[in-house]
Chains A and B, each alone.
Chain A
Amino acid sequence: MSELSRRQSFLKIAAAFNGVVGVLLGIPIVRYVLSPMKTGSDHWIPLGTLDKFPTGETRLATFRSPVSNGSDGETAELPCWVRNVDGSKFQVFAINCAHLGCPVRWFPQSRLFMCPCHGGAYYEDGSRASGPPERGLFEYPFKVLDGKLHIQAGELPTPGPSAANRDLIQIKRQPPCA
């Protein structure tokens, strides 16, 4: 074996060695970069006592994101619309329009939610009334515990095919009197 070809073999071994080192370093780097994908399973969050939400009315409520930290500032304070249907049944809607996420506003006189961005409108039960949204407002699951209304929230609701949305669609499919 000539000296040159020996050196070329050394180079190949060195390159292979660096490849192994690269993979060893790459695994933690990729895991670090992809780590946000695993965050944010929904938590039960209290919205306040029931007397804040009078029967038959829809009120704005806010809650603090369950996964927030100090650097989030006001962005961790999230709003939602709470509709007290009949004193025992509630509907809690995400603030985000089901079209592209802009904040919808409640108009009690016409009993409509309207979106300022692309003109989506929803009825008081969150179902689609008009405009570009393909579905009704996103709904958070709720429960009443110790006289307080709790919702299961934590993720930004988006119109894509997330697991949370599938649950919500199933909830919507239940007959309205159930």
Chain B
Amino acid sequence: MRVIGKIGHWLDERLQLGAPIRETMDHPIPRETASWFYVFGSAAMTVFALQVVTGILLALIYNPSASEAWNSLQILNQQVTLGWFIRALHGWGSNFMLAIVLIHMVQVFLFGAYKFPRELTWILGVFLLLMTLGMAFTGQVLRFDQDSYWGLGIGASIASRVPIIGPAVVKLMLGGPIIAGATLSRFFALHVFVIPGSLMLFVGLHILLVLKVGINEWPMPGRLVRRSDYVEKYHALTRTEGVPFVPYGVWKDVVFSGVILLAIAACALYFGPFGPSGQPDPRVIQTAPRPDYFFLWLYALLSLLPPALETPVLLIAPAIGLMVLLVLPFFSGEGEKSWKRRPIAVLTILLIAVALGTFTNMASHAPWSPVMDASTAASIPANFVSGRTPLQIQGALVFQSKQCHNCHALGDIGGKRGPALDTVATRLTMDQLVRQVLQGGGNMPAYGKNLNSAETAALVGFLETLHPASQASARDASQTQGAQP
């Protein structure tokens, strides 16, 4: 022990870090903030450290070349001892990091911690969120598979919509005219050097500010923030009720970080690594690209927005969202901190959570995508064809062979792009069915050029049978009346 003490003394004589470290450990924090609600920031940092370590370990094997990246992931998954586990840790670590950063942000927002004098801490945090999202997207690109390849195409298509400079931005993003070797190299540089470097710098400043300005006190309803006397009151609070950060506050941070690391390891062990899916070969077009979990809501939004609104929403909404986050601490820098007296803040969080949750849930079903193989792989349930005439059965064959099934479900089998046709005959008369099939409309292609009159008659004859036994098919009232004497 004496030797260690001597070495420590020798180092401290030169580094002179002992005093500032002791000061940091002993700095007083309000007693109530030694709480389980205040552990998310440190947990995010712990997971970031895990990402750095596992990222370096992966870089020992990973080959950032468009021709080799996919192979090197296969080698990691299957040949390198525990390579799959390191990949799984990195992949699950990424999901956990994003989730914890978001929870941390919600907690800070609901506890009013962004208010005076912690505006800059919040602003740095907003940039940390952007960088974390940037790491998630660039990381998804480095898993250079089909989803990654076509995801880059989607990113380029979005970037191309920027007025005037769009095409130049696309080439800058791709490192050339197409998605190729240069694209992967620059995303590797972003994911491994540029963004992590900025992240470390911003995390350092973020933590420095927490130490300089002091951790947010527990928000008490009615205890208002005023620029004139807040700092004085805060210091009075830490003087009278303060406890040293170590060990009062930090032990919960340490426990929670450990729990999170264990949870990541458990997920990695149980679920394994993410992908890679098929090879990034653009000639393999039998693919349905899907984004990673945290971008699924965006995938849903891009499918559901009216086409004319898409470009404005894609380009303007993120800018507005970012501006709102950045000016928030100046716009509401004073006043009530407690969520108990900030109903709009609580409702905002709930609204965003419900919207993102709904979009994510919809994206996992993707009802807007045609089921590309329904015409060959999904059969029409027997009850829709039994007892039909030969002409109607011929119509069922037309329904199948002309890919109607890709967008329309029968008995819950098939696409959800268009309405299910189980009872279509109760909604549309024969004439309306013919018109809809031939002319399309309402987001359905027109089949007039692709169906001859016999096929049309058979198809509509089949569709006419799609009604419950207890309910007649729709009839044109005017024609029915005209036919009667």
Contact = CB atoms under 8 A, between A and B. Distances in A.
Interface of A: 34, 36-37, 39-40, 60, 62, 65, 67-79, 95-96, 99-105, 107, 109-112, 114, 116-119, 121, 123, 129-134, 154-156, 158-163
B182 A73 contact: no
B304 to A, nearest CB: 9
Given A119-B369, A154-B177, A129 B446 contact: yes
B403 A160 contact: no
A132 B160 contact: no
B289 A117 contact: yes
B272 interface: no
B283 A74 contact: yes
A60 B302 contact: no
A116 B407 CA distance: 11
B375 interface: yes
A45 B434 CA distance: 44
7 contacts: A36-B171, A36-B176, A75-B281, A110-B447, A123-B445, A160-B162, A161-B167
B417 interface: yes
Nearest to A123: B445
Interface string B155-189: 01111111110111011101111111111010000
A94 B299 CA distance: 22
Contacts, number: 205
B288 to A, nearest CB: 4
Given A71-B181, A119-B407, A158-B167, 20 more contacts: A39-B176, A40-B171, A72-B67, A73-B280, A75-B66, A75-B183, A79-B282, A101-B154, A103-B150, A117-B369, A118-B302, A118-B303, A119-B370, A129-B440, A130-B440, A132-B310, A158-B157, A158-B160, A160-B161, A163-B167
Contact of B280 (A75, A78, A131, A132): A75
Contact of B443 (A69, A109, A117, A130): A130
B308 interface: yes
A1 to B, nearest CB: 37
Nearest to A65: B178
A147 B406 CA distance: 38
Contact of A105 (B159, B164, B175, B286): B286
B170 A158 contact: yes
Given A109-B403, A134-B307, A156 B281 contact: no
Given A60-B285, A119-B369, A160-B161, A107 B403 contact: yes
A96 B178 CA distance: 12
Contacts of A123: 445, 449
A21 B359 CA distance: 52
Main SS class of interface, B:
loop
Contacts of A76: 178, 180
Nearest to B180: A72
Contacts of B180: 65, 68, 72, 75-76
Nearest to A62: B283
B68 interface: yes
A116 B149 contact: no
Contacts of B185: 71
Contact of A77 (B283, B289, B310): B283
A131 B445 CA distance: 9
A131 B370 CA distance: 10
Interface string B345-385: 00000000000000000000000111010010000000000
B107 interface: no
B155 to A, nearest CB: 9
Nearest to B69: A73
Contacts of B167: 158, 160-163
Contact of A73 (B65, B156, B286, B403): B65
B288 A117 contact: yes
Nearest to A106: B285
Contacts of B150: 101-103, 117
Nearest to A154: B177
Contacts of B176: 36, 39-40, 67
A133 B368 CA distance: 13
A100 B285 contact: no
B450 interface: yes
B153 interface: yes
Contact of A162 (B166, B303, B403, B449): B166
Contact of A109 (B67, B375, B417): B375
A110 B443 contact: no
A88 B307 CA distance: 35
Given A114-B406, A129-B445, A74 B280 contact: yes
A80 to B, nearest CB: 10
Interface string B307-331: 1101000000000000000000000
A155 B178 contact: yes
A155 B302 contact: no
B401 interface: yes
A95 B285 contact: yes
Contacts of B161: 159-160
B303 to A, nearest CB: 4
A158 B66 contact: no
